[in-house]
Chains A and B, each alone.
Chain A
C-alpha cells in the first residue's frame, strides 16, 4: 500500500486528486458529492463579487480528444456563494475557493469572503482565456500576476494558489512572478485558447467564438509547463490538464506536481474517476517501487 496522502502549503489531502475549477462546483450539493466520490479536495467554480450569467449557448463543444468551452464565468456572486460553501462544509469537504475579479481589489475582496466562509485555500483564476477583462489581460503580464497575488495574500491568512495560463511564451516566468508576489503554490495549466468551426454553417460553434481547450489533447502541454515551473520555483505545483488516469496523474507528479486536478475526464468517466485515478496511481507506484506519492514528485528531473 502506497501512502497517498499529500500536503500542499499546509493543506492536507487524503489523496493527490482534486476537482478542477469549472466542473460540478457551483453548488454545495455538487461539491460535496464530488468530495464524497473520492476527490482529495474540491475547487469551486470561479466566483466574482457580483452574480454573472456567463455567455450564451453554445458554451461547450465535445471533441475527440477534449472539450472546448466558453461558459463565461457564470456564478452567483460571492455573497450568495458563501451559502454553497457552508453547505459543502457540512460534509467536511476540503474546499479551495476559486476567485476572479476585474482588479486586484476585487480579487482580494472575494478571497476574503471565501476565507470567512471557511475554505482551506484560495485559487486565483488569473487566466480564463475567454472572458474579456477578467483575468485574460492579467495573465499576460508578469507584473500584474505578482501584484494581484500580493493583494490576495495581504487579504487572507490562507494559502494562495494562482492558476496560470498556458497562452504565454514562457509560463515559468509567470510562476516566478507569482512566487515573488507571495504565492504558496502554483496551479498549471488553465485551458488552451482554441476554436472549433462548423463547416456546414460557416461559423465558429461557440457563441463566444473563442474558448478554452481541456482534456487529453492538452496534457503534454500541461506536463511540460509543470516541468518548467518546478525548475524555477520553490513552492508546490498543482498539475491540471487532461488527467484521466493514474498514469496521466503520475506524469504530472513526476514532472513536479504535488497534486493533480481533474475536470474533463468527468464527462466520460463520471464521479468514479477520482477513485479510479487514485487506485491506479497506487498500483503503478507500488509496481515501480515507491512507498509514497510524495517520493514521486519531480523525479523526472533526474
Chain B
C-alpha cells in the first residue's frame, strides 16, 4: 500500500495571483497524468495532478477553496502530507499531438506535453486562461513545441475560449492525438471536435475524492472511478459516457448536473 509521507516544501513558485507551484521530494515515482492526494494539515486532503515528475515533484494549486487558500500561506520548510502516485497515465501514443488546456488544467497536461516531446512527437499546445496573468507554464510548453494562447479578456493571444482556438488549429493542421484538461464543459467541446474528426482523444477528469485508492465510490463516473480507472479517459469511454460533460457526484453521493 502507498503510505502517507510527510514532506517539507522545498520551494514555492507563484504562477499567478491565485496559483502557486509547490515543490517537494517524495519517495515514489509518478508518470504524466497521475495525481497525488495532498494533505494540507488541519484543513483537507485533496487530489492534485503532478505538474513536475522526477525526484523533486510539484503540484500547482489554484486557491479557490479554504484549504487551497490556506496552502498558499505555507512557506518553504512547512510540511504537507502526500500519498500516491495514483490513477492511470496519459498514453504517449501519437506523432502529431494537440494539447488543449484551460486554466489549472495545464498542471495536468504539462508533464505529458514534455513526455511527448521527449520521445520525438510534435506537440502543439493550445492553452486558455481568463487573463494573460493567469496563463500557466507558457515557457515549459514552448520548450516542447508550438504554443497558442487564448484569453477570455483578450489580454494575450486569441480573444476567446480555448476550444474555439483549438477548432482553428484543427482546421489548419492534421493531428493524430488530442489531450485535454480543464473545466469539464470546455473538455466536452474539445472531445466532441475530436470525435467529429475521428482523432483519438484523452481527457483528464476531476471529481471530489476521499480515498484516492478505488474503494469509497466518491469519485464514481458512470460505473468507473476517476481515482483508479482514470483520471485519464479515452475516446470510447468518453463517447459512451452518461456522466461526461453532464453530471458529477456531490460529497453525499447524489448525482447532480455539473
Which residues does A use to contact B, with CB under 8 Å?
22-27, 29-30, 32-33, 45, 51-54, 56-64, 67, 69, 71, 74-77, 80-81, 198, 200-201, 203, 205, 207, 263-264, 266-268, 270
Which residues does B use to contact A, with CB under 8 Å?
1-4, 6, 37, 39, 41-42, 44-46, 79, 81, 83, 210-218, 220, 222-225, 228, 249-255
Q: Which of A53, A59, A268 is B211 in contact with, Cβ under 8 Å?
A: A59
Q: Which of A30, A62, A77, A268 is B217 in contact with, Cβ under 8 Å?
A: A30
Given A71-B210, A71-B216, A200-B79, the answer on whether A54 and B222 have CB atoms closer than 8 Å is no
Question: Inter-chain contact count A-B, CB under 8 Å?
Answer: 128
> Is the Cβ of A267 less than 8 Å from the Cβ of B252?
no
List of B residues within 8 angstroms of A264 by Cβ:
215
> Is the Cβ of B223 less than 8 Å from the Cβ of A29?
yes
Complex Cα distance, B1 from A54, in Å, reads 24
A191 smallest CB distance to B (angstroms) = 13
> Is the Cβ of A52 less than 8 Å from the Cβ of B252?
yes
- 6 pairs from A and B in contact (CB 8 Å cutoff): A26-B217, A30-B223, A57-B39, A74-B251, A198-B4, A207-B45
List of B residues within 8 angstroms of A71 by Cβ:
210-211, 216
List of A residues within 8 angstroms of B218 by Cβ:
26, 74
List of B residues within 8 angstroms of A81 by Cβ:
253
Which residue of A is nearest B211, CB measured? Answer: A60
Which residue of B is nearest A53, CB measured? Answer: B251
List of B residues within 8 angstroms of A45 by Cβ:
217, 253
> Is the Cβ of B252 less than 8 Å from the Cβ of A62?
no
Which of A61, A203, A264: most chain B Cβ within 10 A?
A: A61
> Is the Cβ of B252 less than 8 Å from the Cβ of A75?
yes
List of B residues within 8 angstroms of A270 by Cβ:
214, 228
Complex Cα distance, B213 from A60, in Å, reads 9
Complex Cα distance, B222 from A24, in Å, reads 13
